[in-house]
Amino acid sequence: MKIIAVTILIGLVLLVGLGWSQPRANCTAAISALEDQVTAQKNMLWDWAGLIRYGSENTEIPKPKADEPRVVFIGDEITENWTNFFPGKPYYNRGIAGQTSPQLLVRFRQDVIKLKPKVVVIQVGLNDIASIYSPITQGVFAENIMSIVELAKANNIKVVLASLTPICDCYKKQSLLRPFGKIIGMNNWLEEYAKESGSVYLNYYAALGVGRNLKQEFTSDGVLLNEAAYAVMTPLAEQAIAQSLGKS
**Threshold 0.85, pTM exceeds:** no
* CATH code of the domain made up of 51-246: 3.40.50.1110
**pLDDT, position 247:** 80
Surface-to-core class of residue 65, CB atoms within 10 Å of its CB (0-12 exposed, 13-18 middle, 19+ buried) = exposed
CB 103 within 8 A of CB 96: yes
Give me the sign of the Cα torsion angle 206, 195, 242, 100: negative
* Domain regions of the chain by residue span: 2-46, 51-246
Predicted local distance difference test score (pLDDT) of residue 27:
67
Residues of the chain with pLDDT under 70: 1-27, 29-46, 248
Whole-number pLDDT of residue 83: 86
- Nearest-Å Rg of the Cα atoms of the chain is 20
Give me the pLDDT at residue 181, please.
98
Cα(79)–Cα(119) distance, integer angstroms: 15
